[in-house]
Structure 1
């Protein structure tokens, strides 16, 4: 059969190709939520982000173009999908790995969750916290420009930037703040306010990481030679020290977001995967928010250095970013890297290929630590199991979601990894990295 590459305005759902550009104009959640999926198979994401127990075929029918041919090239990831494209209820082509999607077990969990949490989006608690965090952030920037930098102000500013990343933009860019797309987009731009990119974040986390958590070769959070997060990754000599040096790399994360991602936006390629051409406008907006006067680069870097040109000002910049990067990176490192974390095999070795229930893998590749108080400070990301099963539920509901998920895991014989304190989680992560 002739080989066909998906176009940038096309998407595959359950083995059929749809006109994503046309559908995005009538999508209830807004067009912005869909652009990142252009040119890829989004079946996994559909079930991950919607409470539906089946794809809304009638609503999508006017936008169906054809049955997906095999093999089909995924425009965004430059990888060939498997020859057999799994149908509803049995799996989805995702790179070369096939997951079982929308299984009776996951449908059962969705039913339980809908009863426990009828309204899944942000509440007044979320909005009050978001406004207070933004006020703290803007106040610190203003005080630094007005009175000069200090280590205290730099540290508080870094903490406020991390809280924006954890508590505000994270929910927004998952579409968990509101049913209205423009509300999510508005709050999602807080990622650009702190020097990141909401577009690249959605490309990295929603499109890649959440769909393929701990999948060797597909999850961008476990790829790279510097740290060996997955036992299936090739071992190198320096990895013997990674349990120690990993923690010291976390402060450097914001420097990558602030500078190297500019080239990703220009080249429309991030983490060796092409960004959907449907997101060209989003990329231009992201570059505008970084570069134009009084936006991030000039607001955060240039103004303090202009008024207070000294090495101390530069050092305060470093302290600010180190505090923010450490707080953000720390939360993500301990979430999927712990003793007993499942390392998911890609299918480069077809003899070892196995189909797994996607929802089961989300449980066994994630951990949960602490409770509601920690969740308030960490944007609910201490409830990583709950978040990976239902990323479009606002984090303010995770404390109600946790007991439902725990009981479901017990009913289905799944290991629910829980740590009573952050210390226990960190110790487990240290041992995991050391092993």
Structure 2
């Protein structure tokens, strides 16, 4: 059994779980209780549906500025993910989606709109003023440079074969793509245009990952940052490495973790291999996200499998087979 010793997401505070049903749910739906609308439990949500604060929405019925990738989370309660990505939205934005009904077992660990949350938002806007939420010209200049650097390195890698200096530069170029280009693209934060975000987001696939697996993991990570049972990033390296400060005597702690400060860098050097040759690409279901309770069964994920596998095969040929 795991111990709860984590810091919850900064945009909300932990609170007691509560249920939304009966008259409260009907009022939230802006319909009388007698209106015929879909009523189900969270695990019964279909692939084209999401639940936000107890209300079921059809995510295929409107144009989303972030693109179709939000359909990855079809079939789930995405209240926390929605609040995390859209901290300044009101109910007005949700009206753009078609309401289908309510989930009768809605519950949450968070209380939104607290004084602490408002204070955090105020401080953030001092750094990132409203209207500057997307990539600047400086960002796109850097992104262009990083993409060109990766392309040149890949070309030389395939044409001339591998070498230690080239491998170092190629690795750095892939890090630039991973930490900047694909990260912001797959957050939907690079541009207001979905195709730009999608294009940049595929950078994850061209450094040995997958944009769809990354979104399943990373959006869950941001929704539950540092929660040792809900943040896939916090436990994905176990049992090799511990990123959680478990109490002494916890079963997750092993004797060798006392020495991980000495071996964590060599261990992390194998991250590339574990990503490139990860069997999760075959079904596009990130095991860490599934562990937290995310249901990754919908038509959108199924339709992307063939593309993910094809790009991964191309990447392996380009980077593993052709240079040798």
Same fold (TM over 0.5): yes
**Are 1:11 and 1:20, in contact at CA under 8 Å, matched by a contact in 2?**
yes
Could you say which residue in structure 2 is the equivalent of 1:188? 201
What secondary structure sits across from 2:81 in the alignment? helix
**Are 1:35 and 1:276, in contact at CA under 8 Å, matched by a contact in 2?**
no
Superposed, which structure 2 residues align to 1:406-417 within 5 Å? none
Q: Does 1:102 align with 2:113?
A: yes
Runs of 4+ in 1 over 3 A off after TM superposition: 1-4, 107-116
In 2, distance between residues paired with 1:143 and 1:227? 35
In 1, distance between residues paired with 2:184 and 2:93? 28
Deviations 1:66-118 (A, max 9, x none): 22112xxxxxxxxxxxxx62xxxxxxx2xxxx022232432344355446523
RMSD: 2.3
**Between Structure 1 and Structure 2, how many residues are aligned?**
271
**Are 2:213 and 2:284, in contact at CA under 8 Å, matched by a contact in 1?**
no
Superposed, which structure 2 residues align to 1:316-395 within 5 Å? none
Q: Does 1:275 align with 2:296?
A: yes
Q: Does 1:250 align with 2:286?
A: no
Alpha-carbon distance change, 130 to 53 in structure 1, aligned in 2, over 3 angstroms: closer
In 1, distance between residues paired with 2:142 and 2:284? 34
In 1, distance between residues paired with 2:89 and 2:134? 19
Larger relative contact order (CA 8 Å, sep ≥ 6): 2
Q: Point out where structure 2 has 5 or more consecutive residues left out of the alignment.
A: 1-20, 22-39
Alpha-carbon distance change, 240 to 114 in structure 1, aligned in 2, over 3 angstroms: closer
Q: Does 1:14 align with 2:32?
A: no
Superposed, which structure 2 residues align to 1:158-173 within 5 Å? 158-173=171-186
Q: Does 1:39 align with 2:75?
A: yes
Task: Identify which range, 274-283 or 174-183, moves more after superposition.
Answer: 274-283
More helix by share: 1
In 2, distance between residues paired with 1:174 and 1:220? 17
Give the TM-score of the pair, scaled to structure 2.
0.76
**Are 1:54 and 1:102, in contact at CA under 8 Å, matched by a contact in 2?**
no
Could you say which residue in structure 1 is the equivalent of 2:136? 123
Alpha-carbon distance change, 299 to 276 in structure 1, aligned in 2, over 3 angstroms: same
In 2, distance between residues paired with 1:162 and 1:155? 11
Could you say which residue in structure 1 is the equivalent of 2:165? 152
Could you say which residue in structure 2 is the equivalent of 1:349? none
**Are 1:53 and 1:107, in contact at CA under 8 Å, matched by a contact in 2?**
no
Could you say which residue in structure 1 is the equivalent of 2:92? 56
**Are 1:9 and 1:38, in contact at CA under 8 Å, matched by a contact in 2?**
yes
In 2, distance between residues paired with 1:250 and 1:8? 35
In 2, distance between residues paired with 1:51 and 1:211? 11
In 2, distance between residues paired with 1:252 and 1:134? 24
In 1, distance between residues paired with 2:310 and 2:273? 18
Q: Does 1:29 align with 2:66?
A: yes
